[in-house]
Structure 1
Amino acid sequence: MVLSHLKTFVRIVDAGSLTRAAEQLSLTQPAVTKQLAALEEEFQTTLLIRQGRRMRLTATGEVLYHYAKRIQSLAEQAYEAVAEVERPGQGEIDVGAVSTVAVFSLPKVLAIFTRNFPRLRIRVHIGDIQTTLDGIIRQELAVGLVTVPIIHPQVDSIPLFQDTVRLVVNPDRARKLPSQISLEELAHMDFISYQTPSRFRAFMDGMLEQHGIIPHVLMEFNSHDLVKSMVKVGLGVAFVPDSVVAEDLANGTLTAIEVPELPPLARTTSLILSKDPPRTGGLMALLATFFDHYQVEPRLWPGWYWETRAEESALPWSAPRSTARHPSTHS
């Protein structure tokens, strides 16, 4: 069994057919078939079966696919770690993020990072919380950004900022409303909401139901921009994370109104990573950028990060501290 066979196996599964896998790998289909047969011979089992025009994993195939993905990721990390010694400050870092963070918060941090480390390439993978967590556990991702704190034996979770949830309305409608409204007034409003099953939708529905409100949902969307657009044209109100609407509130295209009878609403955006990640200079630089930008207290840093910082002088290059700070709207 060689690494190339596992790589081919993963590509067949991801592509869904031998033909597409061969095209993507620039191999002939007989060569791909031969590598798959060699793996099945090695493990004395059938890994894939044909189902119509597609290939389906067997039970043993699913197990091997899981490990093959991890092996492939570790091999790539090994090449990058060795290459970093030869050409310090270069390489690639895979970052996973939920869409809210990827669109509205991550760009500000990456702008600082790429300015300081222009030869380091960041690859961003957008997915839900479970997908991002799985990527960290399998070490396919170096860093993950999620909208809830994560408790997992293989993962360090560092809170970055509290993302306040605001009730926003069209500015014209806001002028007809008091700056603070009651629960009774809120219950009679039309809501623009996120589609179910969304963690944010479940969070908000649960909070409102605790206060006796079953929101009248006029429209549902799976996009922050579409939710905002519907509110901007006056079709309803919406509860939205502050990071999503900070610029809209600042430029006056949306207005926030308060509901004093509701408790302060916020979600904790957290950075997650493996408890034992490859401690490359690139990862250390990226973490330093995040910790500095969000002013993360040193007591929250992972234990191994302290140890590696103590050895930082031995690295061929070090991670400078950024002077940029996160906007006050994140507090």
Structure 2
Amino acid sequence: MRPLAIVGPTGTGKSDLALTVAEKLGEQVAVEVVNADAMQLYRGMDIGTAKLTVAERRGIAHHQLDVLEITETATVARYQEAASADIETIMARGALPVVVGGSMLYIQSLLDQWSFPATDPAVRARWEGRLAEVGVAALHQELARVDAAAARSILPTDGRRIVRALEVVELTGLPFAASAPRIGAPRWNTAIVGLDWDTDVLDERLARRTDTMFADGLVGEVVSLLGRGLREGVTAARALGYAQVIADLDAGGDGSGARELTFVGTRRYVRRQRSWFRRDHRITWLDGAAGGNVDRTLRIWRDVS
């Protein structure tokens, strides 16, 4: 049973498309969803990640949701191993796995069987110490001096990826990009569909999505998670929306001041997602504003040879 992947920028309606495809297939085949949104891995991070509630999942099994505590570190390698096992198990029972999400490295690691370079705790700890000593901006400059291409591809605020890039360069003696996955035939012969909208329309959708999150209680969710150790989480605390609310609270605000920064950060992230996914020639793109996308998705899935 060939898998289907529905990918693309945040806020484009990927989950709804996946669920409607599952309903369209009806009794022909059972469908199970495998999440590919890194922050939806975390228990309790619901509002700010637009995670579907159990009721909203329409009775369809979902995997790789709520599998990590907020104090745990999400890694591409861990996800690749766990999601691959889910897909193999789903196919073994004759069901259709549908991978849904927009976390770029997570999806490519899964579909291109990324072989991860080794890690060395001592080297990693040394670079993390350097990060604490000089700060993220200065460390990004250090990365630029040894691997300019890596520095251009990594945000100067992403301390975790900067440290990892420096670790890989030191251990391998090669540019960080040398360890990146190569786009080839997708694993399991997966059909890949991309969903996107006109930029102005998507920006409006993102603004409404952000307003809804704050209206639905994102600030309260963050406050609750802070009591469970969110601030100590290496990856969870940096999630869009959560990081902005934490910063606003730390500055003496009530959290509501984070709304605009959350929207701007999400819009910026969408631009990065587009740039990444558009490089993948295997993706067949659909316009979110067009009708008939369920039928188009099913045709693409059936036509992959």
Give the TM-score of the pair, scaled to structure 2: 0.22
Kindly indicate which of the two structures has a greater share of residues assigned to helix: 2
Which gives a bigger RCO, structure 1 or 2 (Cα 8 Å, sep 6+)? 2
Q: Which structure has the larger Rg over C-alpha atoms?
A: 1
Question: Which is richer in strand?
Answer: 1
